[in-house]
Structure 1
Amino acid sequence: MNATTSTLNLLAALTYAGRGWRPFRLAPRAKVPLKGSHGFKDATTDTATIRTWWDEEPRANVGIATGELSNIVVIESDPRNGGDETLRDLEAEHGDLPETVRALSGRQDGGTHYYFRHPGFYIKSGADRLGPGLDVKADGAYVVAPPSIHPKTGKEYEWDAGAHPADVPLADLPDWMLARLTETKTGPASTSETDDWTIPEGQRNAGLLSIAGRLRRQAFNEEEIAGLLLVTNRHRCVPPLPEVKSSASP
């Protein structure tokens, strides 16, 4: 990595901080946190801290904490594991993804990172959460950001042409995607029930209250519960209630 690239990494980290995205240091030419650091738990928007970090290690790659910390959710499509095919199938079923910020992996094989606005309540991170090859970087996770250097290819991560964060606003997660990302928390407890479960008229209040109680036992806070109930009402109640209540009374 030359001096110019090192400067670009610092400038990128400062730019992300200016957007409210919280950067932190990854090891040089790596996807893992810098040795001796605390990974995304160190992530900050404090410019003095960021400048000090890259003064100490100019070669550091740039990570961004995802989830509520930076108000972003990133969907990573890994073509090696079928991500592009999975995404095509999902778009055929639900329609094209909205225009949003996109980055290209430094692996140079078509891997794409789709940046969305965080919905304001807990979204679980994990591999293959939307299907094979579609990983979710949300709460408790991070993403490798441009212009970091890929450890295997030596190539830079870069913003997709026409989808740079300076040119394109973050889109909201599509409703169908948000439903998929929350249904493991709000769906039926029994594995014998099907994925197309619904809550019929006459059982909607009781059903939502039951889900709210289950979420409280899992230590979700009231804001998270309200958001999850909103999604459940919209996609599972037939017909949806005009207003979702997360309190203990119907």
Structure 2
Amino acid sequence: MTKATTAIAFAERGWYILPVTPFQKTPFFPIATHGYKSATTDIESIEKWFTRAPLLNIGIACAPSNLVVFDIDYRNGGTTEGLNLDTFTVATGDGLHLYYTAPADAKFKGKLREGVDIKHNGYVVGAGSLHESGKFYEVVKDIQPAPMMEWI
């Protein structure tokens, strides 16, 4: 799969996509002039971005996609303890992204505990992207995101 087809597949799920600078985690500002607020589900725009610049990384804007993502960073002591693992999951450079559904207007604190960040008002780098470490972000569990856990 190319980045274009991967990004389009995410958009077809209703996830809002933005172009991210290659090998980085920052929006590609020549296109994403409003940062993550430039994200769209418009297939034609997404195809154009990733066909013209195939090295771009894929960003997924969480709140408009009705997603909340737990960013588990093993390097900083993150663990999956207490989290529902039966959900859409992506292996990152040094951890996991666990995707859950949540309303766009939901409120979350930015951190669950040391090594576990909660991403909702912003974006995450999506599967198919290349991490600065040289590792690809890879889907390891391709199922529908589970509903957000009530205890959070």
Q: TM-score, normalised by structure 2?
A: 0.90
Which letter maps to 2:118?
V
Indicate how the Cα distance of structure 1 residues 28 and 98 shifts in structure 2: closer, same or farther if over 3 A, else same: closer
| Gap runs ≥5 in structure 2 | none
Question: 2:84 — aligned with what?
Answer: 97
Residue equivalent to 2:117 = 135
Following TM superposition, by how much is the alpha carbon of 1:31 offset from its aligned partner in structure 2, in angstroms?
Answer: 1.0
What are the within-5 Å matches in structure 2 for residues 92-131 of structure 1? 97=84, 99-105=86-92, 107=93, 109=94, 111-124=95-108, 126=110, 129-131=111-113
Q: Which has the larger radius of gyration?
A: 1
Match of 1:171 among 143, 146, 149: 146
CA distance in structure 2 between the aligned counterparts of 1:80 and 1:13, rounded to whole angstroms: 28
Rounded to whole Å, the distance in 1 between the matches of 2:104 and 2:62 is 12
Greater share of residues in helix: 1
CA deviation after TM superposition for structure 1 residue 132, in Å = 0.6
Distance 2:105 2:29 in 1: 31
Q: Indicate how the Cα distance of structure 1 residues 125 and 29 shifts in structure 2: closer, same or farther if over 3 A, else same.
A: farther
- Three-state SS of the structure 2 residue aligned to 1:175 is coil
Cα 1:25–1:125 change in 2 (3 A) is farther
Contact 2:85 2:98 in 1 (8 A): no
Q: Please give the residue correspondences for 1:194-205 in structure 2 after superposition, counting only pairs within 5 Å.
A: none
Matched, 1:145 2:126: yes
The offset of 1:56, in angstroms, is 3.1
Equivalent residue in structure 1 for 2:35, among 14, 35, 39: 39
Higher relative contact order (CA 8 A, sep 6+): 2
Which runs of 5 or more residues in structure 1 are unaligned?
A: 1-6, 178-250
Q: Percent identity?
A: 35
Whether 1:70 aligns to 2:65 is yes
Paired residue secondary structure (1:10): helix
Secondary structure, counterpart of 1:83 in structure 2: coil
Matched residue of 1:17: which SS? helix
On the 8 A contact 1:78/1:134 being kept in 2, the answer is yes
- What is the one-letter code of the residue matched to 2:13? R
Alpha-carbon deviation of 1:137?
A: 0.6
Correspondence 1:50 to 2:25: no
Provide TM-score, normalisation by structure 1: 0.57
- 2:137 corresponds to 1:157: yes
Report the counterpart of residue 77 of structure 2 in structure 1: 82
